[in-house]
């Protein structure tokens, strides 16, 4: 970031911007015009992935832009945990799917799995649906709050519920970068005064959608692991555990629905 508040574009980013412009234009003049437009958006602080229109996530290249969260590298570890808990031919739901990153990565890496995804943001789901179409994956994407849009026949049948819910406290905007605050949707980032409003509902509701022995695997914010483990235990989960992300922060809580 420059002192003026503008972002400095390094040589690698400049190459990516040029590549993106070349893919959208047919004449040199158009390439130049589009490259300048994209570079200006980046210099103004827009996330690089919005400017390029794509984000890498596990083995996928996803379409992203204003209205949807850019999938983060730490969420790749969440996918790893969910895959470990998913039995052959198992059923999994990604709650709060955004661009579809988690659900589509699982669908691609585990073609045997039956994958559902929900989100209550119409804007986010447009990206998820485009991404699904581009990848030609059989993932059921439904609009609505948390588990509400799922068919009642799936209640008590999921092997895994996975989620990267919004988890930043509304009073902690200072913990979030300017690029996130100015560009990414608040609805995807913030969750009430303590950051726990969505995860509390998620944990409370997940237990009834899992089969006995099924797992809830959830991404959390910094400093939330103790409280979230407690939420899991209150909801009746057992074998609750915490896993760190690539930077060493507690980032994932998982727990199992008890078997009779
Ligand atoms: C942190 S983003 C995660 C997006 C994506 N799963 C990822 O990891 O990149 C949280 C997502 O949850 C969605 N969301 C927020 N509240 C929700 C609710 N009550 N029901 C369903 N989705 C919700 C937001 O629209 C957003 O797409």
What spacing in Å lies between the alpha carbon of 97 and ligand 1's midpoint?
A: 6
Q: What's the pLDDT at 246?
A: 83
Structure tokens at 167: 């988890």
Which residues of the chain are under the pLDDT cut of 70?
1-5
| Residue 127 near residue 143, CB atoms below 8 Å | no
Domain boundaries, the chain: 11-45, 65-256
Give 117's contacts (C-beta < 8 A, 6+ positions apart): 93, 94, 95, 97, 100, 102, 103, 128, 139, 140, 141, 142
Give 245's contacts (C-beta < 8 A, 6+ positions apart): 74, 77, 251, 252
Residue ID of nearest Cα to ligand 1 atom 12: 96
Among the atoms of ligand 1, which is closest to the Cα of residue 78? 8
Dihedral of the alpha carbons of 207, 209, 213, 217, in degrees to the nearest 10: -70
Q: What's the pLDDT at 7?
A: 87
Dihedral of the alpha carbons of 80, 221, 143, 217, in degrees to the nearest 10: 40
What spacing in Å lies between the alpha carbon of 17 and ligand 1's midpoint?
A: 28
**Element of type H or E holding 259:** none
Residue ID of nearest Cα to ligand 1 atom 9: 71
What's the CA gap between 73 and 53, in Å, rounded?
17
Beta-carbon neighbour count of residue 242 at 10 Å?
15
Q: Is the CB of 49 under 6 A from ligand 1?
A: no
**Class at the top of the CATH hierarchy for domain 65-256:** alpha beta
Give 105-128 pLDDT, tens digit per residue.
Answer: 999 999 999 999 999 999 999 999
């Amino acid at each position: 970031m420059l002192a003026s508040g503008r972002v400095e574009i390094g040589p690698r980013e400049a190459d990516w911007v040029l590549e993106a412009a070349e893919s959208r234009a047919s004449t040199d003049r158009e390439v130049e015009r589009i490259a300048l437009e994209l570079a200006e958006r980046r210099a103004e602080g827009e996330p690089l992935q919005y400017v390029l229109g794509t984000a890498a996530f596990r083995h996928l290249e996803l379409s992203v832009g204003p209205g949807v969260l850019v999938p983060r590298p730490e969420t790749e570890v969440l996918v790893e945990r969910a895959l470990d808990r998913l039995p052959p031919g198992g059923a999994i739901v990604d709650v709060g799917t955004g661009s579809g990153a988690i659900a589509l990565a699982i669908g691609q890496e585990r073609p045997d799995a039956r994958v559902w995804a929900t989100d209550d943001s119409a804007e986010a789901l447009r990206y998820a649906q485009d991404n699904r179409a581009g990848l030609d994956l059989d993932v059921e994407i439904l609009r609505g709050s948390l588990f509400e849009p799922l068919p009642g026949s799936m209640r008590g049948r999921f092997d895994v519920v996975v989620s990267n819910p919004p988890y930043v406290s509304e009073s902690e905007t200072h913990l979030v970068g300017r690029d996130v605050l100015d560009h990414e949707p608040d609805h995807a980032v913030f969750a009430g005064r303590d950051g726990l409003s969505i995860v509390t509902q998620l944990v409370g509701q997940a237990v009834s959608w899992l089969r006995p022995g099924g797992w809830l695997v959830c991404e959390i914010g910094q400093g939330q692991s103790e409280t979230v483990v407690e939420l899991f235990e209150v909801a009746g989960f057992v074998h609750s555990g915490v896993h760190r992300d690539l930077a060493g922060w507690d980032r994932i809580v998982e727990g199992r629905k008890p078997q009779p």
